[in-house]
Amino acid sequence: MKNSNILKTIILLVFASLCGGLIGALVISKQQQKEPEKTPANELVHTRQMPVTAVAFSSAGEPVNFSDAAEHAVSAVVHVKVTGETQRRYSGSNDLFDFFFGNPGRQEYQDYTPTSSGSGVIISEDGYIVTNNHVVDQAHDITVVFNDKTTAVAKVIGKDPTTDVALLKVETDTKLPTLGFADSDNLRLGEWVLAIGNPFNLTSTVTAGIVSAKARTLGVTPNDFGIEAFIQTDAVVNPGNSGGALINLKGELVGINTLIVSRTGIYEGYSFAVPANITKKVVKDLIEYGVVQRALLGIRYIDLNDPDFDDDTYLEKYAEEEKLDVEKLKALKKYKGVYVAEVVENSAAKEAGIEKGDIIVRIGNKDVTAKSIVVEEVGKLRPGDKIEISLIRNEKTKQITATLRNKAGNTDVVSEDKLELLGAKFETVGKELAGRLRIKGGVRITELGNGKLKNHVRQGFIITKVNQKSVASVEELASIINELKRGEGVFIEGIYPNGRRDYVAFEL
């Protein structure tokens, strides 16, 4: 009997305990709903949350379908594999005795063949493929891997460093899947886009994002005539995506993925693409002429939309450097557009009547909300094309029409300048240096950039002969090089200022 009472007592205590715990939990739950506790910042890294499924919706409230566009476009995006020219490098010796005392007999040379890869977009059924210039700039051999894993050898039709666009061609007996160009001017901020490419050699990778900005200027194009009006997106892009497709949800090509801005070298939030309208123009020129027909307006200007323009200290410094009236510059703060700081002689702007001090507020069919708008609108056109311009002069709006010109100051078709393929700047050697080196003349390399000469000579090298023809001036060098065809052999003889002679051979 006594044991039975003890058992009942235990059961009652357990039951009371459970009820108390339940009531306590309910009280705590209510308190949390009223006053949620804040997690200390240093504990956030330990917080685990359940995954949340994000669903994008169209303006009509229906879920956005990325699949149709992705499945259509992925077959038209290719993997571009590049092999550079084989280089011979001195490797030296790792032996400590050799390090301290030297042993010329143990010097070693190794052949090194650089490789890299990127992406490309098929734009015609007969094998034209657009990619980035920086993907194929140093290419000796190019292999294209299609989405079905078949391969083909590609050749370079043309390259344009000013837009970072290049055009390849593969020979094919079958019709290839293609992507058509969209009108990139119709892109809207916040519009969904997909990036397709081969990051880290992960073929046929698709990522999604929105258009974060348009006509973005970054100052990264290494060219005096660089055209930057990038589409900025938050679609994930990484090394290997370069040259790949940026498409809208109709499966149309709106841009060519080109670069990221990153502290680490990998994606950190934003990626940038060359707009389809600029790409399309460059491709047409490369097919038709072999070189881009670059139109120029011929002005130097100040961007009145730049945040720096609101800084009086910046304006005072700028006015001093450019010998301008600082008070007149400050008075321009009320305008939006670009201020014409200089008009180039024999230019389209000069011929059209644009003057120093004018403020360009509209060009083509666009308001000038950034200097990149001017660059983009002019960059879509060729020498000889006309462009409408609205400007403010003496507080009054004026409409003019400018006929664009090339860098030579005329509207003629420009043929390819193959000297640019060497990737260097040159100057004619003076008589004093020529006499000291006992040469009749030559052309000295004053600056060495990306090009055919990069891995063969050092800055300061003096070219004295090309293919056994003597070279005494920059004009003679240009004449000899421009007579050659792409892929033709080039044999250069020359000398360094210290008297050491050297020889260079490569394909143009």
Same domain, 73 and 221: yes
Residue 142 lies in a domain: yes
Report how far residue 2's alpha carbon sits from residue 400's, in angstroms, rounded to the nearest whole number: 112
Query: Average of pLDDT values for 90-103?
Result: 50
Instruction: Please state the separation of Cα 130 from the chain's center in Å.
Output: 14
Q: Distances in Å between the alpha carbon of 171 and those of 124, 137, 154, 246?
A: 12, 21, 8, 25
Same domain, 160 and 90: yes
The pLDDT confidence band at residue 30, using thresholds 50, 70 and 90, is very low
| Percent above pLDDT 90 for the chain | 49
Same domain, 71 and 143: yes
Q: How many domains does the chain have?
A: 3
Instruction: Return the pLDDT at 57.
Output: 53
The yes-or-no verdict on residue 371 having pLDDT over 70 is yes
Boundary-marking domain end, from 269, 291, 313: 291
Boundary-marking domain end, from 291, 322, 346: 291
Q: What is the pTM for the complete model shown?
A: 0.71
The yes-or-no verdict on residue 32 having pLDDT over 50 is no
The CA-based angle 241-242-244, given to 5 degrees, is 70
The pLDDT confidence band at residue 44, using thresholds 50, 70 and 90, is very low
The pLDDT confidence band at residue 20, using thresholds 50, 70 and 90, is very low
The yes-or-no verdict on residue 368 having pLDDT over 50 is yes
pLDDT tens-digit map of 300-327: 888 898 888 888 888 888 888 877 788 8
Residues labelled as active-site residues: 134, 164, 242
CATH code of the domain in which 128 resides:
2.40.10.120
Report which listed range, 12-16, 219-223, 277-281, is most confident.
277-281
Same domain, 80 and 218: yes
Same domain, 340 and 387: yes
Query: Average of pLDDT values for 16-34?
Result: 42
Same domain, 80 and 192: yes
Same domain, 199 and 347: no
Q: Which candidate, 296, 131, 273, places its Cα nearest to that of 214?
A: 273
DSSP state, residue 59? T
Q: Distances in Å between the alpha carbon of 310 and those of 64, 143, 316, 330?
A: 41, 51, 11, 8
Higher pLDDT, 140 or 55: 140
Residue 78 lies in a domain: yes
| Percent above pLDDT 70 for the chain | 81
Boundary-marking domain end, from 240, 258, 291: 291
pLDDT tens-digit map of 482-500: 888 877 889 999 999 999 9
Domain that holds residue 347: 299-403
Same domain, 129 and 215: yes
Residue 253 lies in a domain: yes
Residue 299 CB neighbour total at 10 angstroms:
24
Q: Who contacts 119 (Cβ-Cβ below 8 Å, separation ≥6)?
A: 77, 78, 79, 80, 131, 135, 196, 197, 198, 240, 241, 242, 243, 244, 245, 257
Report how far residue 304's alpha carbon sits from residue 340's, in angstroms, rounded to the nearest whole number: 10
Same domain, 123 and 231: yes
Q: Contact 268/226 with Cβ under 8 angstroms?
A: no
The yes-or-no verdict on residue 42 having pLDDT over 50 is no
Greatest C-alpha distance within the chain: 128
Residue 16 lies in a domain: no
* Tokens of residue 144, six digits: 């294209």
- Out of 219-223, 266-270, 301-305, 331-335, pick the least confident: 219-223
Residue 136 lies in a domain: yes
Residue 458 lies in a domain: yes
DSSP state, residue 291? S
The yes-or-no verdict on residue 399 having pLDDT over 90 is yes
- Out of 3-17, 139-153, 363-377, 430-444, pick the least confident: 3-17
Torsion of CA 332, 337, 340, 344, to 10 degrees: 170
The pLDDT confidence band at residue 140, using thresholds 50, 70 and 90, is confident
Same domain, 99 and 175: yes
Q: What is the CA radius of gyration of the chain?
A: 32
Residues in the chain: 508
CATH code of the domain in which 354 resides:
2.30.42.10
Residue 244 lies in a domain: yes
Same domain, 259 and 315: no
Residue 379 lies in a domain: yes
pLDDT tens-digit map of 239-290: 999 999 999 999 999 999 998 887 788 877 889 999 999 999 999 999 998 8
Query: Average model confidence (pLDDT) for the chain?
Result: 82
Query: Average of pLDDT values for 70-91?
Result: 84
Report how far residue 340's alpha carbon sits from residue 335's, in angstroms, rounded to the nearest whole number: 13
Q: Contact 299/340 with Cβ under 8 angstroms?
A: yes
Instruction: Return the pLDDT at 7.
Output: 46
Same domain, 280 and 139: yes
